[in-house]
Structure 1
Amino acid sequence: MATQYVITGATAKGIASSVERGVSEGALGPGAALPPVRRLADELGVSPGTVATAYQELRRRGIVVTRGRGGTVVAAAPAVASRRPPKVPAGLRDLAGGHPDPEWLPRLVPPSQLSPGARSHRGTPRLARLEEAVRDWLGPDGVPTEHVTFAHGALDLIGRLLSVELRPGDAVAMEDPGYHHLLDLVTALGLRTVPVAVDDQGVRPEALHDALGAGVRAVVCSPRAQNPYGGCFSAQRRDALVEVLEQEPDVLVVENDHASAVADAPLHSLAAGGLARWVHVRTVSKFLGTDLRWAAAACDPTTLARHDGRLLLTSGWVSHLLQETVYGLLADAGTRALVARAEEAYAARRSALVRELGARGVGAHAVSGMNVWVPVRDESDVVNGLRSYGWWVAAGSRFRLASAPGVRITVAELEPVDAARLASDFAAVLGESEATYGG
């Protein structure tokens, strides 16, 4: 029989530490309710104000959230402990991870050009030839490239910028459904998420307008291969979004082009719209290798100064060894050809599943990238149902704020020949679910 975790402490700091310890050790899991302020105060013999201060600190640090009359509960992804995804059960085909197909990734060979000894990395944090390669990469897509910088991946860059630009309690407009690690990151920084609905063309202008009206100080969005919905900006949608954003020039717009070379969609960047505060970030993990924790970013001069100033005070620079590896791959003709074939393969696999699902009356969303979003009524029923057929997919709850339920299927390793079987099994599971609910 499970024993209820007992919160201890005589001060706000002590109470907060006790709750944090319970969360990090797993005794207080996501969604676990904390005692009401007055009740816990009586149990501990402290004032209600002391408990309220402890809860406020825990909320600020992204460990708990308050749900109005629902009370204070442990956050879905608390900013302590390890939150690895659940292990794929033995014998199941994994379509939940969101990872690229290893077959389409180049072989990583660290460069040997770097000699041993000390170098002034802080004085020259970016390799000049990689900077030029980045400009050649971004420029043809209409992204202004006067100011570029590097980071240890998109999450690293976005987290650094939000921590510099915003303060705990500030609001950030986030895609809904959206990338779960970004949603977790915003919460962990003590910021508030304001959901912005998406469709097959990405962020919806009216939803963004409402978020700006709610006072958000930053917007985080994906111009293509939106994860998990698979949408991408059309030229018309990009223009409509720029028109909305021009009304709030002080809002920082973060554009996360995470799939870029394998998105199978043209880029219609918000950065090309003349915004005052913006950053366009690209990573290479989806097409060069998941171990290459590197990102390139183009941005306005104020954003560049703030990002690089904070970078200088922390890690200082991105490893030159990593930069040399990325440059060697970007400059290699064989690698570019491999990436082009990967883009074609992912497009074929994505289209095959959407087509097969549609043929069985199952609607799905995916016009770019390597994920397919399928709206469902009950996520658990579908995930568990597909498990019985040998498939493992991601429940949509990890990606949602206020949007309707769904499941995400990663098609990177799903050959078109297997799409028909998965679609048939999916339709069967939906049929069984409908029968359970009485149609």
Structure 2
Amino acid sequence: MDEQVITGTTAAEIAASVRALHERGALRRGDALPPVRELAVQLQVNRNTAVAAYRLLAQAGVVVARGRAGTVIAGVEAVAQEGFAADSVLRDIGTGNPDPGRIPDLSAALARAVGRPVLYGEPVIDPALQARALSWVREDLPDHDLRITVTNGAVDAVERLLAQALLRDDAVALEDPCFLASIHTVRHGGYRAVAVPVDAEGMTVDGLRAALDAGVRAIICTPRAQNPTGATLSPARAAELRALLVEHPYVLVIEDDHFSMLSQRPYETLIGPGHQRYALVRSVSKFLGPDMCLAVAATDPETAERLAFRLSPGTTWVSHILQRLVLAQLSDASVLAEIAEAGRHYAERNADFAAQLTERGLPTEAGDGLNLWIDLPGEARIVAERLMRRGWLARTGDEFGLGERRAPSHQLRLTVHDLTPEETDRLLDDLADVAGPRP
């Protein structure tokens, strides 16, 4: 038998044959599979059988469909990550990191976090943290029957929430441009991302309507400090989106309120009083530090029950020492004051930078969050390359976009709150100089 020939008479046999060829190296990343009609003729099977085989392969992550380009063998592709760029001598202005000097000191809280050992079979959530988290989220979702689940950060929460509700190849609505971790989570889970455009008021109504018409089973939304744009849901936009979701009460709505205690904007929600499947996720990494991998997810009771099955003691629970440490900090008035001051600091630094950039001919408005989203007259990639020659490493909007075929981005996402006065002036001058069209 020719080692590169696909065989089989059923969808499962055909899919297994392609997987075997891939595992032996006869089919490699990027190799095109025969068109469905051609494969059906070759194997003397019904066309629907060939379609089902390719669907099984796509659900397993072995192939990807690229429209007119056909179906090709998938591969593990390098993807953009948040944080500092590795091995760079350039001044990194695209990290998305909080200021380490604005993260509260843990020393006092550590002593309060030490307690008796927690053993197998005990509740996976510290009762005191559960009560504190419930009071925190009830302020913003007072009309819902909330249950609390504790996870290892917001990304872990979103991954678990999708896994308990969806099957591979299900469609998920994502903001466009989108937070990198959300893109990775959906891609790695084998779900289909459906882009919903974001403007200054958050997800657009037409965009979400189109996503719902496309059959999305979950929506991931950032109600404020949207990353990368800094957009925050306005009351009017939130009301429009809630009205749209009235007809889709069982679509899982996940709100990632990652900036929560640092935010300078009021919280608005897509989760209406009658919505049946929802989760409000709040992590502590932006104000207590990225190494504090803890988030609380406030969900409807059924979603909480499903999540509980995925939190078994001794394997996937969150350390009770970490839970107590977070509780100790969130119960300390001085720490809460530090967090509030940090939020004001980020807002003031971003607003000042945006105002000065506007004076230099690049109109910019500061949204909420750690970063600035800057519109450019030309392609962001070209501007970023020019900035590199001057010692700066910036992120372009291309990294945050969804879809394979997109027009080049005209935006940069910059993290400028930690620049020294000298660095700030130099970056402002360099941006104004390189962003405009050259003669």
For normalisation by structure 1, the TM-score amounts to 0.83
Give the match for residue 3 of structure 1: none
Distance across 1 between alignment mates of 2:27 and 2:178: 29
**Residue number in structure 1 paired with 2:151:** 151
Q: Aligned-pair distance for 1:342?
A: 0.7
**1:371-423 CA distance string (max 9 Å, x none):** 11223442321211111122111122221015761221123423566444323
Choose 248-257 or 345-354, whichever is displaced more: 345-354
- Match for residue 97 of structure 2? 99
Amino acid at match of 2:361: G
Q: Write out per-residue CA displacement over residues 223-268 of structure 1, whole angstroms, 9 at most, x where no aligned residue.
A: 0000001000122121111111112111110000011111221111
**Corresponding position of 2:31:** 34
Q: Map of 1:85-234 to 2, 5 A cutoff?
A: 87-88=85-86, 90-109=88-107, 110-111=110-111, 114=114, 119-120=119-120, 122-142=121-141, 144=144, 146-234=146-234
Kept after mapping to 2: 8 A contact 1:88/1:94: no
- Provide the residue aligned with 1:238 in structure 2: 238
**How far is the alpha carbon of 1:198 from its aligned partner?**
0.5
Query: Equivalents in 2 of 1:387, 1:51: separation in Å?
Result: 49
* 365 and 175 in structure 1: CA distance in 2 versus 1, 3 angstrom threshold: farther
Q: 2:435 corresponds to which residue?
A: 430
Matches of 1:418 and 1:393, distance apart in 2: 14
2:414 equivalent to 1:409? yes
Map of 2:380 onto structure 1: 379
Amino acid at match of 1:361: G
Task: State the 1:311 CA deviation.
Answer: 2.3
- Specify the SS of the correspondent of 1:37: coil
Q: State the distance in 1 between where 2:18 and 2:327 align.
A: 50
Aligned in 2, Cα 1:79/1:123: closer, same or farther, shift over 3 Å? Answer: farther
**Residues 348 and 416 of structure 1 are in contact (CA less than 8 Å); yes or no, is this contact kept in structure 2?**
no
Partners of 2:21 and 2:177 in 1: CA distance: 34
| 8 Å contact from structure 2 (residues 85, 95) kept in 1 | no
Q: Which residue of 1 aligns with 2:390?
A: 389
Distance 2:370 2:193 in 1: 25
2:10 alignment partner in structure 1: none
CA distance in 2, matches of 1:413, 1:290: 16
Q: Does 1:14 align with 2:20?
A: yes
Note closer, same or farther for the CA distance 1:64–1:20 as it changes in structure 2 (3 Å cut).
Answer: farther
* Greater Cα offset, 135-144 or 387-396: 135-144
Count of matched residue positions in the alignment of Structure 1 and Structure 2: 413
Structure 1 Cα separation of the partners of residues 313 and 18 of structure 2: 31
Contact 1:372 1:409 in 2 (8 A): yes
Return 398-407 or 46-55, whichever deviates more: 46-55
CA displacement 1:195-240 (0-9 Å, x = unmatched): 0011111111121111111111111000000000100012212111
Structure 2 SS opposite 1:237: helix
Identify if the C-alpha distance between structure 1 residues 72 and 423 changes in structure 2 by more than 3 Å, giving closer, same or farther. farther
Letter in 1 for 2:133: V
SS in 1 for 2:286: coil
What is the identity percentage for the equivalent residue pairs of Structure 1 and Structure 2? Answer: 35
Q: Is the 8 A contact 2:209 2:244 kept in 1?
A: yes
The 1:284/1:48 distance shift into structure 2, 3 A limit, reads farther
**Given that residues 80 and 399 in structure 2 are in contact (C-alpha distance below 8 angstroms), is that contact kept between their aligned partners in structure 1?**
no
| Structure 1 equivalent of residue 290 of structure 2 | 290
Root-mean-square deviation (CA), in Å? 3.4
Asked if structure 2 preserves the Cα contact closer than 8 Å seen for 1:111 and 1:321, the reply is no
Shift of 1:52: 8.4
1:163 CA drift (Å): 1.4
Find the aligned partners of 1:419 and 1:48 in 2 and give their Cα distance.
67
Q: 1:190 to 1:378 in 2, by over 3 A?
A: same
> How far does the alpha carbon of each residue in 1:31-64 deviate from its partner, in whole angstroms, 9 at most, with x for none?
xx323437xx99xxx9699998886556334565
- The match for 1:265 is 265
SS at match of 2:336: helix
For the residues of structure 1 that align with 2:277 and 2:321, how far apart are their CA atoms? 31
Deviation at 1:150, TM superposition (A): 0.8
Q: Could you tell me how far 1:367 is from its partner in structure 2? A: 1.5
Q: Which ranges of structure 1 fall in alignment gaps of 5 or more residues?
A: 1-6, 23-27
Q: Deviations over 1:59-92 (max 9, x none)?
A: 33456532212344677xx668897568355442
Partner-residue secondary structure (3-state), 1:167: coil
Residue in 1 that maps onto 2:67: 68
Would you say the 8 A contact 1:138–1:145 is kept in 2? no
Are the aligned partners of 2:124 and 2:313 in contact in 1 as well (CA < 8 Å)?
no
CA contact (8 A) 2:346 2:369 kept: yes
The alpha carbon displacement at 1:364 in A equals 3.5
Name the amino acid aligned to 1:263: S
How far apart, CA to CA, are the structure 2 residues paired with 1:340 and 1:152? 24
Deviation at 1:165, TM superposition (A): 0.8
- CA separation of 1:373/1:348 partners in 2, compared to 1, >3 Å: closer, same or farther? same
Give the CA deviation at 1:171: 0.7
Q: Residues 223 and 233 of structure 2 are in contact (CA less than 8 Å); yes or no, is this contact kept in structure 1? A: yes
Cα deviation 1:339-371 (Å, max 9, x = unaligned): 111111100111122212222232445420111
Q: Distance in 2 between matches of 1:115 and 1:319?
A: 12
Question: What residue is the counterpart of 1:25 in the other structure?
Answer: none
CA contact (8 A) 2:33 2:73 kept: no
- Rounded to whole Å, the distance in 2 between the matches of 1:139 and 1:429 is 48
